[in-house]
Chains A and B, each alone.
Chain A
């Protein structure tokens, strides 16, 4: 493809790349960090920081090549060649993922790097308070290589779940605008697998494991929301009307989800909580991600409203089934990701500024029949199974080689001290009472 630089689009993609990186550090780090106890907040921040470090390195070395190397046939339906653009050598602008909108190849590498980073970082919420730091580092590298790069390639890099892929030939092209399957279902299913392998934290679920800093959680959620406009509107790869549609949908779905989460917990628990507002925001953002440009305003409101309630109820699943998904990666990201991905099958439209890829169809409620719904259910199921099974295998191997979990003593005294030799606060019990009254 001939390449003509478009500075407007390129500027937007550079800005998006920066604010999506902000979603991991500091936003997600503090969203999660506030939810854990004071004795493990540093470890939670560190798991997010180190994910940027490891994934950032391998992305530049071979990750981009394995995801967007350009292969579409044979093995290329599943994964790309890590050596095609190893170290980004040979990657010229005419081969840019975003060449059609005049955005240079290296900017595409930057934007997509932030997606790989946050997907890995999201998993850390499920396994808070108890994983060895070295095992987590090893996991980030192996997992992003064996699970994220292939799945992102399958959906966005010319694989069998994308435009012109096998599923597109059989049914219709799956719609995943910004990462419902690749990012959220993927991280959610992986979090579930790792949480099962690690087992429950000592005392869970009988003794209280309360969020230690809800203002951090609110701040993190708010920064995630800001960054998410880069995530979703940036996934248009251009500064145009479709990006505007994605921005509007990302905004309004999140508004609706916050409201329905709060209403749900007000009815069920008696209070509208700050943790509920923060959680509702993230649930809405997750659910609208795959649909960002592919629904109209009413579709976006419906997706957000449904996701807010569904996720508020889904965070109770871990108590029902007894898996210790510490910060609800399953309840919010897996369930929210599936909700958004499947609802596209009902609500997809390319009217009102909406857009979906070649070969996709309108949703059932927009006169498109059931084909897109079946496609969306299929691609969600494939993502769940692919991620869960591979993660379980990877986690089991690391468990056998180095072990996954810290000792009980370290877990009780706090992983901050045990793993990092630091504590976050001078007094862990806090001087709450006197500062409150004076």
Chain B
């Protein structure tokens, strides 16, 4: 039964594993660039899930051709094109903010930034 489950849904399982790798990276890394890399992996995993849903057995690519019985579902492809575009926009804005943070703090590690913040507060109180 569990073998059937894995064989029938291996694509979804792979998408879930990739998603969890990305999520783990986003949560655990103190380094901001690593966080952005994790976000990229997360979005790719979600796209993989949608594209797997759109695949039909013995289906052909959704471009009209002769002698084709069945086409794949084109709707998830359209939605995922938008998702990729939004993904690259997120990456670009995040990298710009990282550059600004690096200029202000001189570091992109979360722990060191927190230390600098605490020290500044102490100086302000004195």
Physical interaction between A and B: no
